[in-house]
Structure 1
């Protein structure tokens, strides 16, 4: 009876609270209703996941496709995404689809190991899909057998992880590949009368070289060992083609989706089938630190203001090594042709612009993380899943409530009254055992604020229409001044109420940290590696190591938490993502709850 009264009270509050003002920001992982995996593992457990995101801009509206979803999403502002249920869909789901808009219709090709159908839509808003090709032909030279038994020149089954590209002259191209052995392939294709033809034989476009490209090495922080002369465990996958300035940027993901270092790289050529040259500034999207780690296997698209964006896959990895979410980062093509996505503070709130931007970093709101390692109290806790996990910025650790009941609370103490601008609540699947078609898979809760922990006021809440919000993000309509933030549970479709992190953003009202000093940067005998050292900055919560191939263009960022670097006066971090034969420069910035320091002097890595 008590739970029923609480639920009724929450429902009344949700119905009466005014809607938030126009939202201008987003935070990674993206706030979409991730679907439950169509297969269950580990004694019937299931989990919500999303990966390999493709965003296309079709007639001014954005459409998001991803792996393991029984449909796709639609948005007009890159902030609010609405799920679209298609009129037909291959089997239970699709994996790593190729999607392309030619301005008239959207073409969708799922990954496939055997020839299958390609879909299209002239009305993607409605979900109406038609067959573009009912069955693809077999590819010349392709065989379906153990790769270890294949002969030189034979092609593996596919196309798996495909990408479609239609050039300005109307010619279609197909790129594909997902392997630690085989390269990425490309070829001309054609469509006519509901049929697809391979107009050229599939030819190798690119492959990994982890012996000279540090970021292509497998493992957490690129630390997996392998012996030269033997196949590398690093995976090349996630083809995508972007044409810019008359040049062709063939993109790929590496070295593995189940690690923090998953990234996007590019080769560049003067024609759609190359030859392609490795870009020395690779990777183009890289985020090995922070909450949303990983940025690989995605797409590049332009918004309605002409800005570029790069999407990718972020690693969760609790229920399964390939449990994932999706992320989106602003990107830019520089005048000299360099392509780079900004991942600096890449999981903090960012503005979505409505006009053209010149500097992707300018979209960072400046709202700092106020919740890191803050104390938090729960009304109930399952043994072994304590509340400290809720503020540790690690999606693989989490709190579990004793019961999934309305009215369960989590109360976060910020330590002092601070200005709160946004909150993100990240849920976890713990022994869920659910499927996407269950009728009760939606998220409902309220966030409350208090100055003293006794008198509470509304802060934010989920709104109708009901949907699942695994990574629920709330930008407040106006700044709130609060010391305590309380989560009040209503409903979650998972079997258990489990939360990995409640992330509070705003400003503590103090001074930003001092500029880091005493910086040194030494390259190792293995030129893929370097050690960066700097003096500890008092009061810093974290640091960004910013590095790149030009001293005036530090496009790569590795974010670190100060309490994980030790207590010494000198701090250090090993970078293992460098390209052999390429010069690098590095600088450090410190941050706390009040802001970001000035960037240090820029030093060569020698």
Structure 2
């Protein structure tokens, strides 16, 4: 109830009502770059993964996999692409960042010689070489003729999926690997940080690579492979090293079980030193988003904003054009006084406010703006067979509407059924039969949003007719809330061969009281302790439910969002053996969020 009251107060506050956009929604609204990982099949599509966000100077910088540059932001809301003046990479994959010695360093994943880049002016894309070749991993195995890694105690070639960390004493550490066979490794590096221009530059291994941790899916349910962890004993991947130090403890984060599934998550081990020994945290996975429009929260970064608020980024799975078609998401994060790390993915694909101050303990960033468009009817000006307009409101990014022609003037008209207060709209494009469209010079997204209370008198809500950015997941916060029944999308231009949109998502609040709290909650652990069956009675009129669990009633940090047309009973397969859990459920509709149900133990 405290969360509901807080969200209501925030939604009404002048802080959110100003003209400057102060909210965001996942996936992040950036111009995801086209790439050709499936070049031989003639497929191109926008994608982004493995985000590393770092603050340098007075701005934030976002680096990711397979981009011909990076993004910068002053406020974590608007991101602008930077095309660097020196970029010797065919394609950066899972890069590591480090701010040290007054410089910003960038290290790409590598199996062979690759440069380490450095900049003191990343805002203008100016980079130089720190070293032209990364040092080889000492004692590493080599690929055989079939390009498979050799078995044994030696680490594989690398560093692949690197992570860099500088401790308080100035020492620098490297963490790396991505494998279904090998563990994650770490080593101390000799990283000469001479502040003089032209001073000595050095990068070398000080210690031998040390195996730090393996996956343990036999005891950690969430580390099992497949959708909802259903692929049994198939080997899972461990990857995405990231290190944070907080309260004298070292939080070694990693990703599992696979980026191509809804359950891709972030786990954490805690240690007393940068190379361990590390202890598995019982509250794992720490970052987890298996349900909703955006699914997947693994392989990212944890950083602090200018106000001292912590954030965790991750990789969301899309997987339409190719298995590894993905997006970037970002969630509030932090640590409790006793050291427990948390990442809040509750309503993680609804609008959240971007704080302009340090948040209070337990303060929520969720705006309280609810999904108004779910399963609502849409009329399209034209439709390609097999891709109906009904997919625009199903909250599934893997289904999409396609117009008969990609031409200006195509329209979509969404009927909300009443006149709720509309506050934001997200337009999520899809890449359908794009061919080699990445070669095109006109990669911008332009459209107009209109609103009406009666379907006769229309008002312009947002005009992006002169937009200069490509925005595959365009999120628009209205300058002021409006009472509307109809939302109309008027097409101008999109950077794709076809006009295809997966979802037209509308957020705000309908009048009336939120739904009642779910009743009849039951949670029973299976004979396999990694699983539990959770069920509850349906709430009339609910749009969906958040199943929330954790180690205590005041620490329900894990959330599985489910919609009302899904069964109110399911098997949760992400639990850790030997750990006691509690669970609760809340319902939500267009008016708001219910009080939390009774909190119950997940009993054997």
1:98-247 alignment runs, 5 A limit: 98-102=96-100, 104-146=102-144, 150-192=150-192, 193-226=200-233, 232-247=234-249
Aligned equivalents of 1:89, 1:265: Cα separation in 2: 32
Deviations 1:498-542 (A, max 9, x none): 000000000111221101111111000100000111111111110
Note the C-alpha offset of 1:493.
1.2
Q: Deviations over 1:189-244 (max 9, x none)?
A: 11233331110111111111111101111100111122xxxxx4211010000010
| Aligned pairs for 1:11-410 within 5 A | 21-41=19-39, 43-102=41-100, 104-146=102-144, 150-192=150-192, 193-226=200-233, 232-359=234-361, 362-410=364-412
What residue number does 1:593 align with?
590
C-alpha distance in 2 between matches for 1:41 and 1:585: 48
Bigger drift between 54-63 and 181-190 goes to 54-63
Equivalent pair of 1:529/1:578 in contact (CA under 8 Å): yes
Counterpart position of 1:503: 505
Deviations 1:61-94 (A, max 9, x none): 1000000110011101000111111111133320
CA distance in 1, matches of 2:101, 2:596: 43
Aligned mates of 2:125, 2:107 — CA distance in 1 = 16
Equivalent position SS for 1:332: strand
Distance 1:282 1:149, change over 3 A: closer
Q: Corresponding residue for 2:196?
A: none
Partner Cα distance (2:34, 2:554) in 1: 44
Q: TM-score, normalised by structure 1?
A: 0.93
* Cα offset, 1:456, TM superposition: 1.4
Determine if contact 1:331/1:360 at 8 Å carries over to the other structure: no
Alignment partner, residue 447 of structure 2: 445
Partner Cα distance (2:464, 2:273) in 1: 48
Question: Secondary structure, in 3 states, of the residue corresponding to 2:364?
Answer: helix
| Cα distance in 1 for residues equivalent to 2:378 and 2:446 | 20
Return the alpha-carbon distance in structure 1 between the equivalents of residues 136 and 226 of structure 2: 35
Q: Do the aligned residues in 2 keep the contact of 1:342 with 1:360 (CA within 8 Å)? A: no
* 1:433 Cα offset (Å): 2.0
Q: How big is each residue's C-alpha offset from its partner over 1:285-306, in whole Å with a ceiling of 9 and x where there is no partner?
A: 1000000111000000000110
Tell me the distance in 1 between the aligned counterparts of 2:89 and 2:364: 43
- Cα distance in 2 for partners of 1:168, 1:380 equals 60
1:155 Cα deviation from its structure 2 partner: 1.5
Tell me the secondary structure at the aligned position of residue 389 of structure 1: helix
- Pick one of 418, 431, 443 that aligns with 2:420: 418
1:333-389, Cα deviation, whole Å (9 max, x unpaired) = 000100011000000000000111135661100000000000001001111110111
Q: Distance in 1 between matches of 2:375 and 2:24?
A: 23
Does the aligned pair in 2 maintain the 1:434–1:494 contact within 8 Å? no
CA contact (8 A) 2:426 2:506 kept: yes
Q: What is the Cα deviation at residue 398 of structure 1?
A: 0.1
For the residues of structure 1 that align with 2:507 and 2:43, how far apart are their CA atoms?
A: 33
Aligned residues: 577
Aligned to 1:229: none
What is the TM-score normalised by the length of structure 2?
0.94
Q: Is the 8 A contact 1:134 1:195 kept in 2?
A: no
Separation of aligned partners in 1, 2:595 and 2:40: 48
Q: Which of 534, 537, 540 is 1:538 aligned to?
A: 540
Residues 390, 331 of structure 1: alpha-carbon distance in 2 compared, 3 angstrom cutoff: same
